[in-house]
Structure 1
Amino acid sequence: MSTRNVGLRTFSLRRRVTMMVILVIGVALLAMAFTVQTAFQLQSERELDRKVEAKLAQVERAAKGRIVHPTDFSAKYSFGGVTVVVRRPDRKLFNYNGEVDSISELGGTVQLEKPVGNGFSVILLTDSPEPAQNRLRNVLLLVGLGTLGLTAIVLVVTIRLALRPLEVMAGLSRSIALGDRGRRLAPVRTNTELGRTAVAFDQMLDALEGAEAHARASEQQTRRFVADAAHELRTPLAGVQAAAETLVRLGPGAGQEDVERMQVMMVREARRATRLVEDLLSLAQIDAGLELRFEAVHLLGLVESEVERLSLLAPSLHVAVEGEDPVVAADPLRLGQVVGNLLDNARRHASAEGNVRVRVTRFPQHVELMVLDDGPGVPPAERERIFNRLVRLDTARTSGKAGAGLGLSIAKGIARAHGGDLACVEPPTGHRGAAFRLTLPATTAPDLPTTPIPSLSA
């Protein structure tokens, strides 16, 4: 399977979070500084206007009479950030220090000049607000830089602590990659971002380790299957080889009876090897996915046809068929293979009397076919294992009639490919042999073609 890379960008998360937080705080500080600076400027202007209006009213009341000493007048009313300059009728200027040549040498900002009578006028000067605004701007700049610096230091520490779970996750991944299986994050809280990530990480590890365990088990099972299959094939091939070597050793002068006996042995062992190879091919097709050709099959008629074929192999075997004749959607050849394998299994394990019962029952949702023999039965602990490949019970191995141990596995695979199942179940009360139950989905199959089951007696 091809690997699809997501192309995850792996910038430093710690650095990225730190820079983003500092950027956000920096923008917030700039906005705050601009707001404070604007508010301070507006407030300063309103305060200055209020002072000038109050000072003008005060000076106008005081100057109703004649201003005799301009310097004293200026000294008396120049306070509170407002300087009073008196202009005499001769255009000379006086402040609290005496006569001045021009307004410009006093500094400050001229707010207004107001005549107050008798040729006198007063000029109100205020200090420039720029120094105060510059000081405020410098203070805001220093505080902002200090705040950003302190924030960066705190963020480095706090983000390191906050991202520690990710480092734990990375460490766990490295340890698992080195072979330390079975470890998990097991988050205490699963309703947080890191908690949900840890849960997803643990689920991924469970799936990966489960897949690894399944792959190892499948690999071991495949190796065991190949070894068992090679062992099973070696037996008939050894028989063929022994018979051929015997014929060669006997030479042209061998008796007719010996030659026929060796030829029969070669044919028997070749058929045994052929049957085993066919079973192995069937298993390979099941693993790859069977291609079924569904038709409307009369199940009871198919069973009777397989029983008729079985009677040619075991004339002394008595097989009783009973029940209904439901129609199922199935591949008749493959379904016949399932029934044939079940009947062949019953034949090989039946008692000396050889009694086998086959019962077909229709249910609302499925159809059931039960095959019962009167042999030694299957222990409950072995009823699942007998469907594994190349598995035979001890009684089958010692009976001299054992097959390769593939028939039941093939039958179960075909049954499941039809949407049904095959199981070894508890036999009915009073029955001492084995019981195999084949289930298939029930269907009326109105649109499927019907293939007649041929009779061997025809």
Structure 2
Amino acid sequence: MSASAALRSGSLRRRTIVSVLALMALLLVVLAVIVDVALGARLRGQIEDRLRDRTAATASLVGIVPAEDLADRLSAQGLSVRIDEAGGGSVVAGPSPEQLRGGPAGPPGGPRGGDAPATPAPGSVTVTVSELSGDTDLVTLRSTLSDGSTLTLTASAAGVGETLAQVRWIMAGASVAVLLLAAGAVVLVVRRTLRPLDEVSDVARAIGAGERDRRLRPTNPDTEIGRVATALDEMLDDVVGAEVAARAAEERLRAFLSDAARELRTPVAGIRAAADTLVRADLDGPEREILAGHVVREASRASRLVDDLLMMARVDRGLQLALARVDLRRIVDTEAERARLVHPGLIIRTEMPDATVPVSVDRDRIAQVLSNLVDNAARATGGRGRVVVGILPSGNGVEVRVSDDGPGIPAEDRERIFDRLVRLDPSRAGSGGAGLGLPISRGIARAHGGDVECLDSTTGAVFMLRLPARAPDPAQRVRAGAERTGVA
């Protein structure tokens, strides 16, 4: 039965009680049938043993006691007797078989008084062949004796049916009584056993009503209901955790949209004001050039922010990397030269091994990461500090560390700076960054199977780009979403 079919069925308590009682009724019926068959066979076997005993006793007296006397003795025990002598004579005594039908089976004991069988003398007559026959009311034993005579004894078996009928009534009454008692006991036991399920449903309703801290906390988690309660507690913890995470993600998304709108509002407002002045005012010469330059700068600023937002969206969706085997030293050298041109007052020094450092990366993406880290260092030092870019081997890959001699980053902010639109004051605020460079850098690094971290440092800030020795698998290349970047 499937889970949905089980849930659509009736009450578990009712089904359990009905199933147990049905099983008990079936067992009682089987027991009654076994008792009826065994008792019937036993009673009929006793009649057959009695007839064999009388036949053996009678055979030992043939030739000693007249046949008429033998027949009278046997008929006195309620048996129908027929003795066919070897000479051709016949003796019949006792009730006929028709009279025995429905009559008593006669005394179950042996011959009465002096009717006990005599001890056969040596060479006496014995039973050679015996044949049983009969039906539900009669049992007939036809025996051939060693002297050629035939002895036929018939006994009534009507008493067997009467006894079985009485036993059946007794079994039926006892079974009904047992079932009634069992029904009461099963109801109490099942109700007590399934009481924890009521607690489970009560807790579930309470949690649905808003009591998110309610839990079952079973004392014996190894039982069936204990395992159900433990699984429900774990599920509730996951649900509540997911709810908290969803609310936090929603808050971060709202904050992100608000910050993005605010960041875009400034350049857009500047562009609008300058454009409005250019349109409405009759300006010539230097003033017009100043306003045009202002429009270009604000447009560039807005364009950079939009590009960063689009890049962040690509990171969330999953980056497609154009992997190639390159020498990491060349990427570092190129970015160092670019930084020297962009920031002439910045002192940049590279520390790299003499041998090549081959890595399988997307060259442009890794160059973007290094550019973001170096530009952050330049802003932190005001464009006039010292920046060191070094390549270090690691156990399963390679590390690129970018360190500066700026004010550094507090320990409590070393993870927060990888959130979107986060800028630390006072050294890194208002310096042109939108707070998206580090989240983008971490997303790109994690798409490569590596990471970007801010390390502990007593002087300045140290950022580490970690790259694996081998390229990530195709599935890993496209997983750089919010779950991997750690942002909403």
Q: TM-score, normalised by structure 2?
A: 0.77
Are the structure 2 counterparts of residues 113 and 299 from structure 1 closer, same or farther at C-alpha, using a change threshold of 3 Å? Answer: closer
* Residue number in structure 1 paired with 2:4: 7
Contact 2:67 2:91 in 1 (8 A): no
Deviation at 1:334, TM superposition (A): 0.7
Aligned counterparts of 1:183 and 1:313: Cα–Cα separation in 2: 59
Tell me, yes or no, if structure 1 residue 437 matches structure 2 residue 464: yes
Partner of residue 325 from structure 2, selected from 296, 303, 315: 296
Cα distance 1:41–1:351, how it changes in 2: closer, same or farther (>3 A)? same
Q: Do the aligned partners of 1:110 and 1:126 also contact (CA within 8 Å) in 2?
A: yes
- Correspondence for 2:449 among 419, 435, 443: 419
Identify the residue that residue 378 of structure 2 maps to in structure 1: 347
Tell me how far apart the structure 2 counterparts of residues 406 and 233 of structure 1 sit (CA, whole Å).
Answer: 13
Secondary structure of 1:160's aligned partner = helix
Q: Which whole-Å CA distance do the structure 2 matches of 1:439 and 1:394 have between them? A: 27
Residue in structure 1 matching 2:211, options 167, 176, 180: 180
| Cα distance in 1, alignment partners of residues 338 and 442 from structure 2 | 21
The 5 A counterparts of 1:53-452 are: 53-54=52-53, 78=76, 82=78, 104-105=98-99, 108=103, 109=138, 111=140, 125-126=155-156, 128=158, 129-249=160-280, 251-252=281-282, 254-324=283-353, 325-351=356-382, 353-396=384-427, 400-427=430-457, 432-443=459-470
Give the C-alpha shift of residue 366 in structure 1. 1.6
Calculate percent identity across the aligned residue pairs: 38
Q: Deviations over 1:129-157 (max 9, x none)?
A: 21111111221222223222322232222
User: Quick one: distance in 2 between partners of 1:247 and 1:380?
Assistant: 48
1:326–1:86 CA distance, 2 compared to 1 (3 A): closer
Aligned residue pairs: how many? 423
Q: Secondary structure at the match of 1:395?
A: coil
Range 264-273 or range 174-183, more displaced = 174-183
- Contact kept? 1:85, 1:94, Cα under 8 Å: yes
Distance 2:67 2:471 in 1: 126
Deviation (angstroms), 1:85: 7.9
Name the structure 1 match of 2:46: 47
Taking structure 1 as the reference length, the TM-score comes to 0.81
Query: 1:61 and 1:124, CA in 2 relative to 1: closer, same or farther beyond 3 A?
Result: farther
Paired residue type of 2:307: E
Structure 1 residues 300 and 69, CA gap change in structure 2 (3 angstroms): closer
CA contact (8 A) 1:78 1:84 kept: no
- 2: distance between equivalents of 1:6 and 1:65? 84
Q: Distance in 1 between matches of 2:157 and 2:302?
A: 117
Judged with a 3 Å threshold, the aligned counterparts in structure 2 of structure 1 residues 281 and 104 are, in CA distance, closer, same or farther, namely same
Secondary structure in 2 matching 1:329: strand
Unaligned segments of structure 1, at least 5 residues: 116-120, 446-458
Does the 8 A contact of 2:455 with 2:464 survive in 1? yes
Sort the Cα spacing of 1:255 and 1:147 in 2 relative to 1 into closer, same or farther, 3 A.
same
Could you tell which deviates more after superposition, 221-230 or 297-306?
A: 297-306
Secondary structure of 1:343 counterpart: helix
SS of residue in 1 equivalent to 2:4 = coil
SS at match of 1:328: strand
Higher alpha-carbon deviation: 384-393 or 319-328: 319-328
What SS does structure 2 have at the residue aligned with 1:7?
helix
Q: Distance in 2 between matches of 1:52 and 1:326?
A: 110
State the Cα distance separating 1:279 from its structure 2 match: 0.4
1:409 Cα shift? 1.0
Mapped to 1, the partners of 2:315 and 2:178 lie a distance apart of 72
Q: Distance in 2 between matches of 1:276 and 1:68?
A: 133
Give deviations 1:291-328, integer Å, cap 9, x for gaps.
00001222221122122222232212121112124121
Q: Post-superposition shift, 1:114?
A: 10
CA–CA distance in structure 1, aligned partners of residues 82 and 391 of structure 2: 129
How far did residue 352 of structure 1 move? 6.6
Q: CA RMSD, aligned part only?
A: 3.5
Please say which of residues 327-336 and 104-113 is displaced more in the overlay: 104-113
Partner of 1:36: 35
**What secondary structure sits across from 1:39 in the alignment?**
helix
Tell me which amino acid in the other structure corresponds to 2:371: G
Task: Give, in angstroms, the shift of residue 363 of structure 1.
Answer: 2.9
Cα distance in 2, alignment partners of residues 442 and 122 from structure 1: 106
Greater CA deviation, 18-27 or 413-422? 18-27
Indicate conservation of the 8 Å contact 2:44/2:157, yes or no.
no
Compared with structure 1, are the counterparts of its residues 350 and 62 closer, same or farther at alpha carbon in structure 2 (3 Å cutoff)?
same
Return the letter of the residue paired with 1:48: I
* Cα deviation, residue 126, structure 1: 3.9
Deviation at 1:43, TM superposition (A): 1.4
**Contact 1:327–1:444, Cα closer than 8 Å, also in 2:** no
Quote the Cα distance in structure 1 between the aligned partners of 2:142 and 2:347.
137
Segment of structure 1 superposing worse, 49-58 or 330-339:
49-58
Residue 285 of structure 2 aligns with an amino acid whose one-letter code is: Q
